[in-house]
Structure 1
Amino acid sequence: MHTPHPTAPKPAAGRFGIFSHELRSEDPTLQDQLRDAAAELEELGFGALWLGGNSSVRHAAHLAGSTEHILLATGILNIWYEDAGTVARQRAELERAHPDRFLLGLGASHAQLAQNYQRPYSTMVEYLDALDTAPVPVPAERRILAALGPKMLRLARDRAAGAHPYLVTPEYIEQARHVLGDGPFLAPEVTVVLESEPARAREIARGFLGYYLQLPNYAVNLQRLGFTDDDLTGGGSDRLVDALAVWGTDDAIRTRLTEFHTAGADHLALQIIAKEAHEALPRAQWRHLADIVGLTAKSTPAHT
């Protein structure tokens, strides 16, 4: 069993990254745009690109050549769809070509979305065992788990660099940090709506959240945090939407993001929910977000 070395440094991801389903698109007409967008996000100063939507090593490899130092992470690779041996081999190839650029985010997904879904915790343990015993193993400090419940969080603490939870609140982050301890990397996805008008902001957020609130893994976690069945219906109550989606003026958004860091997050994987559904890549909003969190005023770190 490969556990992280107690003095292993946390992934070099900075305080903010971008989480995007769009960046892992396989649409052939978008590939040049994806590479250009990845290069711009690096130039803006974001420390990591989290590729959402059942992403794989090859999606990260596709963006590695157009960037120099930004961390590329899967958010997440679905363990039901990708063989561990193949993943370890692909990861070794990417590591040889672009050393220290990739973080393997792993998740057990949901019963509604994965065929042959059963025993997710035990299956994750077996998957990590397979990564440990591959011809070129995936080091524990170069992988991260999409953990929500206490049991998976402890596994993330013991067998990975840390946890990459999705659809959580600062209160959850405080609890997760308590389970993980100080050492592991805690990098939640955080949903952001760049809209200050309350009704419009919540409308945009509900259009995004409604789907996820129907998935039991998320619903159960939110109920553990004190939300009720009423909060989870109709795309979410105002209380739930305001807890899960960061929106408001630039100052309000900055303040809300600070709450996640204060609660114990090392890094925030920021997911923009675009106001216009037809936007392939919300690049103008990514630029605005970089300005909000103070990245654009800083120089891009040199590749070392």
Structure 2
Amino acid sequence: MSTLGTTGVFLPVPFTGAVPLARQREAAVRLERAGYGTIWTNETVGGKDALVQLAVLLAATERVAFATGIANIWAREPEIAHGGAALLADAFPGRFALGLGVGYAQQAEATGREYGSPVETMRNYLSRMDGPMMPPAADAQYPRILGANGPKMLALAAERADGVLPAGLPPEFTAEVRKLLGPDKLVVVALTAVPGDREHAKAAVSMRLGMPWFTKAMARLGYSTDDVDGVVDATVAYGGPESIGAKVREHLAAGADHVTLMPVLEGEFLDAVTQLEHLAPALP
């Protein structure tokens, strides 16, 4: 099974443009050298296959683990997802984890399929991943982690997955997730990290503040999204390296096994990697 380490980071590849693989390889080597336990990569539908991307980056590095955060279930059939993940786990033992997410209705529609109930859609996807295949997939184990913030998807993760990846919520939520999943499941937290002041942090999460799921989740934890400063302080790691490291430690103390940073960085791709190298020594 994969060893994620305590702290990871999303490779700062934007959704809006392609980064040449030579630069991605360089970035992966530098982030491995900086001490991050896992490098995560994003995915939507089309333009990039996260499993192929990680195959290239795994081959370019020696020790660091890689994980999809999150592989979109509409990008590939479940049998293909399991076959590709098992092949990577076989080729790079202990260095790969598969994060899966149900995405959005428009992504399903773009592939000509019906979104349906997110939880039942994911349940059926997992069942097909575990079903018979011809030819059979490689006989290799890898952690299967579900992207989830809502109670129903969290419950499905507790039942059918190796762990869960909630994003953008405070340490109190991490504690609730640990209680729900128990001691034996992986709790991975995606934490927005902004190397700037509170005003920069507000700008980075402004869209989230208007999302109904976020408003509802924060209200249940005792926060009002009208108190923007309070919400930002609770959910974003911002400031200098020590402040960002302190927020990571809050989630670890609340029960997270691994915290991966979702960096909001300035400059070109490799400039962003330099910023992440500077941050790494302050992280647990």
Percent of aligned pairs sharing the same letter: 35
- After TM superposition, the structure 1 = structure 2 runs for residues 126-165 of structure 1, keeping only pairs within 5 Å, are 126-133=124-131, 134=133, 135-136=136-137, 142-165=143-166
For 1:222, give the aligned amino acid. Answer: M
CA contact (8 A) 1:21 1:53 kept: no
Q: How far 1:291 sits from its partner (Å)?
A: 1.4
Deviation at 1:83, TM superposition (A): 1.3
Provide structure 2 residue ranges, at least 5 long, that are not aligned to the other structure. Answer: none
Deviation at 1:152, TM superposition (A): 1.6
> 1:35 corresponds to which letter in structure 2?
R
Q: Structure 1 residues 208 and 146, CA, compared in 2 at 3 Å: closer, same or farther?
A: same
Alignment-mate amino acid for residue 117 of structure 1:
Y
**Cα deviation digits, residues 227-247 of structure 1 (max 9, x gap):** 33534xxxxx11111111112
**Whole-Å separation in 2 of the counterparts to 1:245 and 1:37:** 24
Q: What are the superposed Cα offsets for residues 52-97 of structure 1, whole Å, 9 maximum, x if unpaired?
A: 2436312211211111221111100111332112212222332343
| Aligned-pair CA distance for 1:258 | 1.2
Match of 1:171 in 2: 172
Q: Alpha-carbon deviation of 1:168?
A: 1.3
* Change beyond 3 A, Cα 1:13–1:84: same
**TM-score, normalised by the number of residues in structure 2:** 0.86
Contact residue 164 and residue 188 of structure 2 kept, 8 A: yes
2:56 corresponds to 1:92: no
Asked whether the 8 Å contact 1:140–1:159 carries over to 2, the reply is no
How do 1:25-64 residues align onto structure 2 when only pairs under 5 Å count? 27=18, 30-54=20-44, 56-64=50-58
**CA distance change for structure 1 residues 100 and 254 in 2, over 3 Å: closer, same or farther?**
closer
Within the alignment, does 1:230 sit opposite 2:226 as a pair? yes
8 Å CA contact 2:225–2:231 kept in 1: the answer is: no
Root-mean-square deviation (CA), in Å? 2.5
SS at match of 1:144: strand
**Aligned partner letter, 1:262:** A
Partner of 2:121: 123
Say yes or no: does 1:283 pair with 2:273: yes
C-alpha distance in structure 2 between counterparts of 1:185 and 1:24, whole Å? 27
| Closer, same or farther: CA 25–67 of 1 in aligned 2, 3 Å | farther
**Quick one: structure 1 residues 249 and 208, their matched pair in 2 at CA, closer, same or farther if it must change by over 3 Å?**
closer
1:190 matched to which residue of 2? 191
- Per the TM alignment, residue 270 of structure 1 is displaced from its structure 2 partner at its CA by 1.2
Which secondary structure does the structure 1 equivalent of 2:184 belong to?
coil
Q: Tell me, yes or no, if structure 1 residue 247 matches structure 2 residue 238.
A: yes
- Amino acid in the other structure paired with 1:51: T
The answer (yes or no) to whether the contact 2:192–2:262 under 8 Å persists in 1 is yes
Q: Look up the equivalent residue of 2:216 and give its one-letter code.
A: V
* AA of the residue aligned to 1:132: D
Q: What is aligned with 1:297?
A: none
Please report how far the alpha carbon of residue 50 of structure 1 lies from its aligned counterpart in structure 2 after TM superposition: 1.0
Q: Pick the aligned partner of 2:208 from 207, 212, 221.
A: 212
How much has 1:125 moved relative to structure 2? 0.4
1:108–1:213 CA distance, 2 compared to 1 (3 A) = farther
* 1:5 alignment partner in structure 2: none
TM-score by length of 1: 0.81
* Alpha-carbon contact 1:174-1:264 (below 8 Å) kept: yes
Write the distance in 1 (CA, Å) between the matches of 2:279 and 2:67: 20
Contact 2:42 2:50 in 1 (8 A): no
Aligned length, in residue pairs? 272
Q: Map 1:63-74; keep pairs closer than 5 Å.
A: 63-74=57-68
Compare 211-220 and 114-123 and name the one that shifted more. Answer: 211-220
Aligned residue identity for 1:280:
F
Q: In the TM superposition, what is the alpha-carbon distance from 1:26 to its structure 2 partner?
A: 7.1
Shift of 1:138: 8.6
Which of 63, 75, 78 is the equivalent residue of 2:72? 78
Contact 2:96 2:142 in 1 (8 A): no
* Unpaired segments ≥5 residues, structure 1: 1-8, 196-200, 232-236, 295-304
Q: Which moved more, 1:52-61 or 1:82-91?
A: 52-61
Q: Which residue of 2 aligns with 1:300?
A: none
Give 1:261's match in structure 2, choosing from 252, 257, 266: 252
The equivalent of 1:19 in structure 2 is: 10
